[in-house]
Structure 1
Amino acid sequence: MVVDGHNDVIYESLLKGRDLSKRLAVGHTDIPRLKKGGVDVQVFAVWSDDKKFGKGQAFKHANAQIDALEKMVRANAKDIALAKSSADVQQIVNEGKIVALIGVEGGNMIENSLDNLEALYQRGARYLTLTWNYNLPWATAAAIESKTAHREGKGLSVFGKSLVKKMNALGMMIDLSHAGEQTFYDVLSISTKPVLVSHSNAYSLMPHYRNLKDAQLEALRKNGGVVGVNFYSGFLDPGFAGRVKKLYRRHFGDKGNYGLSATRQYEKLPKTLQHQADAPLSTLLDHIDYLVKKVGVDHVAIGSDFDGIESAPQGLEDVSKFPVLTDALLQRGYSKADVVKIMGLNFLRIWKENEN
């Protein structure tokens, strides 16, 4: 059972009118490639940029994305079906279909309303990533917390704490990717259910604010939660940005704009040079090894972030390549039972444990 806990194809392709029933020449995801990759359960992220979709817009935009996903599922009913409970999964898979699951990435979309949270749950959202890269009135984000030394003003507000309790009551997974450290620990002090960190890696191997430090991993282990490994080269490989800049300068010479970020430079490189810059597959395996060592094999999963990233590891260029990862894990010495857990069962377990 292959479960990918995070994919941004709704925003990247569906909202742009692309037909996922056909093999697309762009992006990482479509139904033919999901089939080729043997993906059984795909979590489709609902995402709205906090700055573009504010109060009065974000909740509406979230619902519009769910509308787009449901329309796609209806048009491809022979290939894919939406699940609203963990019990739905096996039935859908037995019918030879891909399971679609909804995850909401960013608490801005509830617009400070528990009623909106429950409305998204009723539509099928089974996790909420509390923040994206901006602070909310009730929770602080890693991207912002990491720039501030002082603890004051960080973490959950009174409303944020009530939201955690509401999610526990609903049976909705709390996703702590993007959450600041204080928010992370505040949630763990309140939640009565195991938490999800849907698409993050190990800080000790790649010191980026999106990754989890060892103390966080220990707290996650005690909570019984699960961390899904992110495929983004910039969250995996400390050498990625340096390779991008070197290749960019080599290709564009003195006419190149060296003030661009590594991300923008990567996007301007020809495909062949992008591939040279991409993280080696071994870096992803190293993160899995490290996470398994720290939290145990029952607490590591997959959260690719496909269609939300510009660079994935060599050999894992899109969703059709998941068998490459399975094979690589076996070659690393993982047992078949352990690979089954990492590739899907751990995510399904935590989902079931959050249900009422």
Structure 2
Amino acid sequence: MTDPLIFDGHNDLLLRLHNRDVSPGKDGFQGDGGQQIDLTKARHGGFGGGFFAIYVPDVVSIDMRDEMSSDSYDLPLSQEISWSEAAPVALSQAAILYQLERDGALKICRSTNDIRSCLANGVMAAVLHMEGAEAIDPDFHVLEVLYQAGLRSLGPVWSRPTRFGHGVPFRFPGSPDTGPGLTADGKRLVQRCNQLGVMIDLSHLNEAGFWDVAELSDAPLVATHSNAHALTPHSRNLTDRQLHAIRDSDGMVGLNFAVAFLREDGRMDADTPLDRMLRHIDHLITQLGEDRVGFGSDFDGATVPKDIETVAGLPALRTALRQHGINDDLLKKLCHGNWLRVLDATWGDL
């Protein structure tokens, strides 16, 4: 059950490798370094690749698993991290991805043709993504350099604020309508990303920022790893009104595997049946259409259902989807076809 291959909207492997200070070769990726993604697990699970996030860790130290196991919560976040602090961390994580490519572990993809070639030839496809744009300077010099180096997707914020906008907190129950939207620099960033063909990720933006992007952007609206607020009233999830805007732009949403965004009680509990994922997929398909839903696992950054656990467990998801009545054509769209469609529309003939 490793077919069709899954191309995934979000993982945090680069942060894991960066934080563990290990070689991204044999110990960290090509062997079993203990993370949710490595080459052996990917082969067993039919994981074809996805968006590899650069993320600068929050300076507030909290045990998210413990805090998000309560009936309600509102996690503290740090204030804005300066460009001078963020840039070295971001470049270090980007360098890890380049090293993985030099080692022959994956290929950094700059076009959908690159991704298609990787999927066809059994090579892990990696799209360089930035989750939170703290490392981007106000003149966009870093953006220009990283674009030339392969950056093709960017979220203006993680949940803490940046010079570009405001994110949603980890709050349950909660609404994504939590404050002001994009700053003037954030609006300029959206326009420059449109010009370059860099996809804008809406997943951590608050609702006001979401609507600012919807008004400004000439590209499909995309949330790489988000779920349905109607089923799980977490501030990180998208309302039906937001989903309809994504549908109307011919964009898409990648289903987040993080259990706190799947469960009705918002708890971070791995003992979460796969039918919670199926309910969100059904809702997303109903609101968006079957051409606008994919996966955005958050592997190596989240607690996922224990029946999956790592990319090696992805066959269990395919089996559950088939048993749920998902036919082969729709399964292929969910696994990678819809991501290729929306990236074709966003990137053009890169």
Both proteins in one fold, TM over 0.5: yes
Q: Select which of 314, 318, 324 maps to 1:332.
A: 324
* Separation (CA, whole Å) in 2 of partners of 1:153 and 1:213: 16
Cα RMSD of the aligned pairs, angstroms, is 2.3
Shift of 1:146: 10
Say if 2:12 is the partner of 1:8.
Answer: yes
Give how far 1:73 is off. 2.2
Q: Please give the alpha-carbon distance, in whole angstroms, between the structure 2 residues aligned to 1:339 and 1:147.
A: 32
What residue in structure 1 maps to residue 77 of structure 2?
none
Change beyond 3 A, Cα 1:106–1:152: closer
One-letter amino acid of the counterpart of residue 65, structure 1: Q
Give, as a single letter, the amino acid of the residue that structure 2 aligns with 1:315. Answer: D
- The structure-2 alpha-carbon separation of the partners of 1:144 and 1:161, relative to structure 1 and needing over 3 Å to count, comes to farther
Residue 296 of structure 1: aligned partner? 289
Q: Please give the alpha-carbon distance, in whole angstroms, between the structure 2 residues aligned to 1:33 and 1:146.
A: 33
- In terms of mean alpha carbon deviation, does 11-20 or 35-44 score higher? 11-20
- 1:50–1:108 Cα contact (<8 Å) kept: no
Match of 2:89 in 1: 61
Q: TM-score, normalising length from structure 1? A: 0.84
Distance 1:172 1:46 in 2: 15
Matches of 1:147 and 1:289, distance apart in 2: 22
Deviations 1:137-162 (A, max 9, x none): 3311122999999x897111222111
Deviations 1:116-157 (A, max 9, x none): 2222222111110111111123311122999999x8971112
Correspondent of 2:44 among 36, 42, 46: 36
Alignment check: 8 A CA contact 2:165 2:181 kept = yes
Contact residue 146 and residue 180 of structure 1 kept, 8 A: no
| Cα 1:339–1:287 shift into 2, 3 Å | same
Q: Does 1:95 align with 2:121?
A: yes
Tell me which residue corresponds to 2:56: 48
Q: Secondary structure at the match of 1:329?
A: helix
Residues 121 and 281 (structure 1), Cα distance of their counterparts in 2 relative to 1, 3 Å cut: same
Specify whether residues 290 and 64 from structure 1 end up closer, same or farther in structure 2 by C-alpha distance, changes over 3 A only.
same
The corresponding residue for 2:32 is: 23
For 2:31 and 2:155, the matched residues in 1 are separated by 30
Asked if 2 retains the 8 angstrom alpha-carbon contact of 1:134 and 1:144, the reply is no
Q: What residue is the counterpart of 2:75 in the other structure? A: none
Query: Which aligned pairs between 1:35-184 and structure 2 lie closer than 5 A?
Result: 35-49=43-57, 51=59, 54-75=82-103, 77=104, 79-143=105-169, 154-184=180-210
Q: Which of 1 and 2 has greater Rg? A: 1
The Cα shift of 1:55 comes to 2.5
Runs of 4+ in 1 over 3 A off after TM superposition: 50-53, 144-149
Structure 2 counterparts to residues 228-247 of structure 1, below 5 A: 228-239=254-265, 241=267
Percent identity over paired residues: 34
Give me the TM-score of the superposition, normalised by structure 2.
Answer: 0.85
The question of 1:305 aligning with 2:305 is answered no
**Which ranges of structure 1 fall in alignment gaps of 5 or more residues?**
242-262, 264-273
